[in-house]
Chain A
């Protein structure tokens, strides 16, 4: 396919754009010939994530991502003006993004006609035009054809005129319908067309590119912890979904990782059409027996509802263990994004989600860390009791750890072995991770490790109990108000990410105690130095704070570094 490699803008450089001829309107009336393009001979689909979905799996009833679709089509042009029509484009097309390349003729206009063929559109188009009303006698099946004219279709009611007089459609209780003369040029789907001026009759291969909504993709990871808990295997699928009514057969498929900027563009006008409602005059009655129900067809409209229901099929589970090596997507750099190319052409069918293998890595060393983030201003739990610590798996995304690749955001399922069986332990989300970043998978709260925090004035005491049969690594992070520091910390605290952190190793079946005092806003060290020195001259600014600290110190009994309770 010659057009493929070089495609686009470059080709267009040969084509004169209409805009360059913006010299002033010509008065000539032109006749435009219809030139439908052939069905695509090759399709490329690049799926982008929903830029506003943080992480996790895709949701089939909310596919807010999009795709760039590039179709190669053969067209046959007449000499002169042609309306080159592209049928079968995705229904989620953003018409303003359409690009047509590969023509050396003058493109005058690109059009997208969103008025589609529907009963109500037919009635609207028939206003003022002759048509035939067909009335069937319910008894003998005799059909009466009455030529007439539609006078109005305003507000869903149809008024027509025949030689017998003026009547309203379907108000008589008789089976009545309208027979229209033609389809008024309306089509089943919004149509994309290009008005171009060809020098001569010719056939050409053109590339049509456009963005279409209603796609999404995410990575679905499976992490399997080794029985000793010191390493894991990490595999991933690309799960992509097409929520459009249009499918793409044998498409060259790519997905792009990374957040791309999207301007929340207004959606172009689209009339999805509707039935002929045939609203009548008031039909009050002297009886309270309900009249024969009139079929309310309005609810059967073509809204997004149908699509969502159709899509409610479950996503393929990502949890299968691979029987053999699968075809893996190949990663390449696309500017500041990551492009994953699926090696063989694949069919991205309408209303379908599909999975392609992204990666498989084994024996990645991991460490299991327990921890809790504490906001001293808040009670840990309403009752003041203990809170389970959270667990997470940690490793570095480096080559030494058998990783060192870009990990696109998604959803991760963690499996562990118990008595020789592989069981699901936790599901959590993963953000976009570049090479050499820290990979942390949340394993959820652990009932075995509980944290209890108590405070007296500005002094805090935190007890961490470990009911496990082995020593654990524990991290207590503090989230302090602006300008607040800590003093008198036992054991000593370190600082990570600008916040105090206590890193402990807690032996099996024991309780560790952490003590610290919170300083008041600002001037932490200064106030505490003054509080300890009975002879200090205390500036007015600090008087109240120093008094508070002295009272706190009197109240606390000096705690041990770590009290071990066997």
Chain B
């Protein structure tokens, strides 16, 4: 059965990339087929194609079978497939350079090549002298790259347009944000870029590209088994999303996912990182603050830095006015000479419009907290009383407010005494807003009654 190689030149390609290393490739190619059964090879498909997801449709033909050949053409494979066949060997005399040609039959290629030349049996290049081996053909299903081939049954001969679609890993995207904070005005300028990377081993030329801010669950893929990811399994990360939004953006959607089409047809080369802008907002009000999270019974002899936080909205009113695909937000601030300097970055998840985000950029050099367990007393057989003392210091020439979060207040834990009023953020966490004067210190004390 003869194979027709389908060239990539006359194809029209469109790629839909999801955020978790998965892409849907759809292409239309003109194929020229004869009537009856034949095999068609598709070149230039992803080297990481998931062959079970391939679907080919064209008029007046039916698919008999689909094959994905990953038997690659290498010298060793070539020799292996030549076992039992004739090859030409060319001996080169090292003294004179004269060539001698002989026909030889390859008997075996196990750990060394055994040849039969006339009635003699020889091991190829056993003496280390130069011997060229010339093969007359390449075995049928050995190829330079993994190749998709489809056997079809065509009702008629002639050229027609076939559409091929498949899923492949190796293509992924995320968002990258540049945020420039104006300290004096408390305003944020934000640019959003879509960053897509191709490590699938194949270039996609002149492709119409659509990005989906979401990940269709891949049933059966590793990692989907086992217990669902519970809180304790995931590393404890400070949630960036303070208040989920309730606004709807005007971007295109697919189910509950937002879509980001690229404006131009583009070529995604192998090993390429490509960025396209999608957001540019100026003068969004943002609030700079400090936060210190103390774990239950955490106590330290040395002051620890509070975290620098920036809080802003993604609402259409006084906010970024867009939903944000998951990615990394990099914060910049102008130095005394007016040049932007990097001050830290923070990751965000897919964030609906209208949300309030609170992001940490790093540790504050000058605002520190020393949390101390002053006393632990057993009140009775079940209950404990814990006296905590929090010492705040501020080496900045302006007063600051630090949000102190004490974690670990499970069950019927209660605060029996406190030097300032707290709010209970959740059953687990109490929060104090502590004012620390410029170049000054503040002390906060609290007593907790717990069962542990």
Contacts and interface: CB of A to CB of B under 8 A. Distances in A.
Contacts of B125: 173, 283
Contacts of A498: 299, 372-375, 389
A418 interface: no
Given A174-B92, A285-B126, A541-B381, 17 more contacts: A7-B338, A7-B339, A9-B189, A20-B280, A22-B260, A22-B278, A150-B144, A152-B144, A172-B132, A258-B365, A281-B124, A282-B112, A285-B123, A335-B333, A434-B368, A483-B377, A483-B378
A18 B263 CA distance: 7
A228 interface: no
A145 interface: no
Nearest to B362: A260
B158 to A, nearest CB: 26
Contacts of A115: 269-272
Interface residues of A, number: 123
A155 B97 contact: no
B362 A111 contact: no
Nearest to B82: A281
Interface stretch (B28-36, B57-65, B70-78): B70-78
B135 interface: yes
Given A262-B344, A336-B364, A127 B262 contact: no
23 contacts: A5-B339, A19-B193, A96-B193, A96-B275, A107-B277, A115-B272, A127-B145, A159-B138, A166-B138, A168-B78, A209-B340, A261-B346, A265-B328, A268-B197, A291-B128, A336-B366, A432-B305, A435-B366, A435-B395, A437-B393, A482-B297, A498-B373, A522-B384
B305 to A, nearest CB: 7
A419 interface: no
Given A95-B273, A152-B74, A174-B92, A138 B278 contact: no
B120 interface: no
Chain B interface size, as a band, is 35 or more
A25 B265 contact: yes
Contacts of A269: 197-199, 271, 273
A127 B178 contact: no
Nearest to A16: B280
Interface of A: 4-10, 12-13, 17-27, 29-30, 44, 46, 48, 51, 68, 70, 95-99, 107-115, 127-128, 137-140, 142, 150-159, 161, 164-169, 171-174, 209, 211, 254, 256-263, 265, 268-271, 279-287, 291-292, 332-339, 341, 406, 431-432, 434-437, 482-483, 495, 497-498, 521-524, 541
Contacts of A18: 263-264, 276-277
Contact of B280 (A6, A12, A334): A12
Nearest to A339: B335
- The interface centre, meaning the residue of A139, A211, A258 with most chain B CB atoms within 10 A of its CB, is A258
Contacts of A482: 297, 376
B339 A44 contact: yes
B249 interface: no
B95 A139 contact: yes
A261 B97 contact: no
B365 A9 contact: no
Nearest to A257: B365
A483 B376 contact: yes
B129 A258 contact: no
A18 B191 CA distance: 11
Nearest to B361: A261
Contact of A25 (B79, B144, B176, B208): B208
B345 interface: yes
A68 B75 contact: no
Given A110-B274, A281-B78, A437-B393, A335 B343 contact: yes
Nearest to A108: B264
A392 B59 CA distance: 86
